Amino acid sequence: MSTNSEVESIVQRIYEKYREFDDGDVATYIPELAKADAAHFGICLATVDGSVFRAGDWEHEFTIQSICKPFAFQMALEEFGRDTTLRHVGVEPSGDAFNSIELDPKTMRPFNPMINAGAIAISSLIKKSPVESGIRGFVDKMQMAAGRPLRIDQDVLASETDTGNRNRAIAYLMLNCGIIDGAVGETLHQYFSQCSLLVNCMDLAMMAATLANMGMNPVSGQQVFDFQFIKDVLSVMFTCGLYDHAGEWAYRVGLPAKSGVSGGILAVVNRQLGIAVYSPKLDSKGNSVRGILACKALANELGLHAFEFTNVGSNFMQAMMQPRDWAK
Ligand code: DON
């Protein structure tokens, strides 16, 4: 296993290696996101024992965008259980773009909760009346996972509300098919607000570490998420978290993860650590270019791929290495 100072220098080296890398384009379809400074690049790792490793612009805040989706899915599972939640959304990769106006033709549900259709269906479930109380509930959970107060970026929220007609089309398709209820405006306000939460790399790494740590924030010790549903969330992140890049990601990086159009990527090394990278320039599939490169390099150098035999830091491997009765 790598020591703390080795991890620190690996994170720094990966940051230096990709800092000048300039491919991709900042998202512009939400006009407010186009204002992002393309030079920003931050990395943060947070372990389940509370250590943190960071480099570059890890403190710079950006909106969480689609990285809200796994957490909203977790909240729906906690509130409604598997059967009800899965009546509204499937768990199949769509192989299509995140904003596709489509439902699974076999089930007439959104393919999964990581694409816009599925996330809007989840927002419809977890919204409350009045709508601001459901948004408050989401922000509260995210604060507990991050371990600090968070707020919504009102300019991004207004910008997305003004221009989000594609999401409106998806929502009305789902209303027509009986997936969501008639409070479409409230559902979309819940969804757009979730996406507009301001976070930095350290927040995302801590949220990922909370998932890795069976739902307990490793620094505060607070049980944020019900651990019985974390495996549901991590499985769907593994197969669907990077949209139509999900197969390539699973093959090359091998970690449950979620990307967002503002340039964040969050990845979870189960029982070990959380990873966050931020860099706003995106590839054609809407994933951060430097984010993918940095995660690939971290997974390779630290042996983090879920099926990597050198992934020996896991609790499971440690338990396996203890003498056991049957092995005597
Ligand atoms: O719904 C949208 O278009 C955005 N609020 C979120 C999309 C997003 O982050 C997709 N991720 N790559």
Amino acid at 71: F
Looking at residue 313, its pLDDT comes to 53
CA-to-CA distance for 306 and 267, rounded, in angstroms? 11
Ligand 1 binding site (Cβ under 6 Å of any ligand atom):
65-66, 98-99, 116, 160, 167, 195, 259-261, 286
Residue ID of nearest Cα to ligand 1 atom 1: 116
In this predicted model, what pLDDT tens digit does every residue of 159-214 receive, in sequence order? 999 999 999 999 999 999 999 999 999 999 999 999 999 999 999 999 999 999 99
Task: Report how far ligand 1's centroid is from the alpha carbon of 66 (Å).
Answer: 5
Residues labelled as active-site residues:
66, 69, 191, 243, 261
- Give the model confidence (pLDDT) of 22-36 as tens digits: 999 999 999 999 999
| Nearest protein CA to atom 4 of ligand 1, as residue | 65
Cβ(64)–Cβ(260) below 8 Å? yes
Dist. CA 171–CA 69, nearest whole Å = 16
Tens digit of each residue's pLDDT (9 = 90 or more) over 37-95: 999 999 999 999 999 999 999 999 999 999 999 999 999 999 999 999 999 999 999 98
Strand partners, 44: 54, 276
Contact of 200 with 277, CB cutoff 8 Å: no
In angstroms, the first-to-last Cα distance of the chain is 26
Mutational test site, ligand 1, from 30, 98, 283, max ligand atoms within 8 Å of CB: 98
How far does the centroid of ligand 1 lie from the alpha carbon of residue 122, in Å? 14
The backbone region for 286, taken as left when phi is positive above 0, alpha when psi lies in -120 to 50, beta otherwise, is: left
Residue of 30, 116, 198, 240 to test ligand 1 pocket, by largest number of atoms within 8 Å of CB = 116
Tens digits of residue pLDDT in 243-259 = 889 899 999 999 999 99
Question: Residue 273 — very low, low, confident or very high, per pLDDT cuts 50/70/90?
Answer: very high
Q: What is the 3-state secondary structure (H, E, C) of the chain?
A: CCCHHHHHHHHHHHHHHHHCCCCCEECCCCHHHHHCCCCCCEEEEEECCCCEEEEECCCCCEECHHHHHHHHHHHHHHHHHHHHHHHHCCCCCCCCCCCCCCCCCCCCCCCCCCCHHHHHHHHHHHCCCCHHHHHHHHHHHHHHHHCCCCCECHHHHHHHHHHCHHHHHHHHHHHHCCCCCCCHHHHHHHHHHHHCEEECHHHHHHHHHHHHCCCECCCCCCECCCHHHHHHHHHHHHHHCCHHHHHHHHHHCCCCEEECCCCEEEEEECCCEEEEEECCEECCCCCEHHHHHHHHHHHHHHCCCCCCCCCCCCHHHHHHHCCCHHHC
